[in-house]
Amino acid sequence: MLSQLLLFLAACGFPQAPAVDVLAADRLHLGDGRVLESAVLHFDDQGKLRSIVEGPAPEGALYVEGAVLTPGLIDAYSYLGVGELSLEEASEVTPALPLSATADLDDPGFALALGEGVTSAYLSPDSMNVIGGLGVVVKTCGGQPADLFASSDSAARVLKDKAALKITMGTETGRGNRGPWNNTSLFERRPSTRMATGWLIRREFYKAFQYRRLKLDGKNPPLDADMEVLLQAIDGDIPIRFQARRNHDIQTGLRMQKEFGWKHLIIEEGLEAHKAAPLLVAAKVPVILGPQFDSRSRAQATGFSLADWRLKTNPGPVCCEHLEETLVGEDQERYGHDHFAETGVYEVDGLALDLLFLTLPRYDAYFARGPYLGRMIEAGFGTPATAALLARQGVSVVLGAAEAHDGSVTEGSVIHQARIAHQYGLPAAKALQAVTGDAARLCGVADRTGTLAPGMDGDLVLWSGPPLQADSRPLLVIVDGRIRVDHRSQVQG
């Protein structure tokens, strides 16, 4: 029966997203700071940009009067698809664990991000481990989903695997760990303090140097995947993303860079990076901020939305469950039942279920994992002007939204991060580059996306107005030359 169903679905297929041949816009941001007026873009049959010319919209072009076109947004620091199941908790040190093998690329957050104009994202390993593994850059659609009934290309798709090594210095690495008193749990281990976290990082990199020395001396040590990754990170073949929020943690990362000769270090989150700006400039270390917020209580982790509540309490049918039979006569007496009489529990639905949602507790940092908890604890030390302060002192800075797309109700999308940065002093061109061209460069995918030029992937967003304007919304989101999101009727109607 299942095989017949699979054959039926394969035969029916799913409608393919419509391709774009010619697209015109009254204003075009190229992603590198340049802006063209009245531009026309031509796509090839592979979904790449064939040409960009200035001029009015030709007949037959896809065109919306007054709209503004940008490259697809890039979330340079995201936890989309990252959760407990993507984390190896048996060890605090897992350098060789690729997130591409453990992330949930079917996560509904990818669709939410796509609807906000995010066409690519760097997925960062969970911050609960000291050395958390290898991050991955994905397109937010175009992948093969695991869900049998989902559109054939609705999942995220890997764009660059093993894009960076995650190291965490902060509060969350020691959360849940405790001293080895009874030796009854795997969490009776280090680190439980920042000092122990630093010790673990140093221990592993010194082990990597010893591993290399054995190889150079011809002693042929057994292959160690973790040590191989650490050596690639030391040599700069794999960037190191050092998650640190507080000034002293950032400076710890900079000292370790000198100690171990890390050639490609990036500070991730950098809540207080503005305080270490001169040191970052001297070391030529860029910062990926995220997320920025102008009030501790308005951090992007907003908890359940009503839509989430409805989905979890009354999920849609997987196949045919909604085709309920009507029981009559003897069948009613035989199979009908009173749920309350049998269980003592009332079944609540409709308006009553929605009203019950209002009684749920809102977001509480105590119950949060990893990045949620650490950011809420340390949020009071940040300022939404950090991006502007860093840029003024010559630090390369890009933006990420972390968990912002995990729920359907959020103000934290990466475009919101750019708007906050601009509102607090970052020039508009720099703010837009921080979520397009500059973000692509730091994520290692600048040869594919982030800017608009012939030969680049056809990833674009058509906005109802200037993208950094608060009321501007995505009209069209195009990935690889195909329309993946079309909000024209909702925004203009």
Question: Could you read off the pLDDT of 154-176 as tens digits, one per residue?
Answer: 899 999 999 999 999 987 776 66
Q: Which CATH number fits domain 73-303+369-447: 2.40.40.20, 3.30.565.10, 3.20.20.140, 3.30.1490.20?
A: 3.20.20.140
Query: In this structure, which amino acid lies at residue 362?
Result: R
Q: Are the beta carbons of 132 and 370 closer than 8 angstroms? A: no
pLDDT at 370 over 70: no
Query: What mean pLDDT is reported for the chain?
Result: 83
Model pLDDT, residue 484: 95
pLDDT at 15 over 70: no
Q: Where are the domains of the chain?
A: 17-71+450-493, 73-303+369-447, 306-317+327-357
Model pLDDT, residue 86: 81
Please indicate whether the domains covering 17-71+450-493 and 73-303+369-447 agree at the CATH topology level: no
Question: What pLDDT band is residue 306 in, cutting at 50, 70 and 90?
Answer: low
pLDDT at 321 over 60: no
Torsion of CA 103, 107, 109, 112, to 10 degrees: 130
Model pLDDT, residue 367: 37
pTM for the predicted model, two decimal places? 0.82
User: Higher confidence at residue 175 or residue 198?
Assistant: 198
Among 161-175, 260-274, 364-378, 400-414, the least confident range: 364-378
Summarised one tens digit per residue, pLDDT across range 286-297 is 999 988 765 444
Burial 465-480 (b: 16+ CB within 10 A, else e): bebbeeebbbbbbbbb
- 399 closest CA partner among 359, 450, 474, 457: 450
pLDDT at 489 over 80: yes
The mean pLDDT value for 186-193 works out to 64
Model pLDDT, residue 309: 58
pLDDT at 124 over 80: yes
pLDDT at 335 over 50: no
pLDDT at 104 over 60: yes
Q: Report in angstroms the alpha-carbon separations of 103 from 106, 133, 159, 301, 343.
A: 9, 12, 14, 20, 38
The mean pLDDT value for 266-277 works out to 94
CA distance 428 to 99: 33
Summarised one tens digit per residue, pLDDT across range 434-468 is 999 999 999 999 999 999 999 999 999 999 999 99
Burial 169-190 (b: 16+ CB within 10 A, else e): bbbbbbbebeeeeeeeeeeebb
Q: Are the beta carbons of 399 and 288 closer than 8 angstroms? A: yes
User: Higher confidence at residue 353 or residue 74?
Assistant: 74
HEC sequence for 160-186: EEEEEEEEECCCHHHCCCECCCCCCCC
CATH superfamily of 17-71+450-493: Urease, subunit C, domain 1 (2.30.40.10)
The mean pLDDT value for 125-140 works out to 93
State what percent of residues in the chain have pLDDT above 90: 59
pLDDT at 301 over 50: no
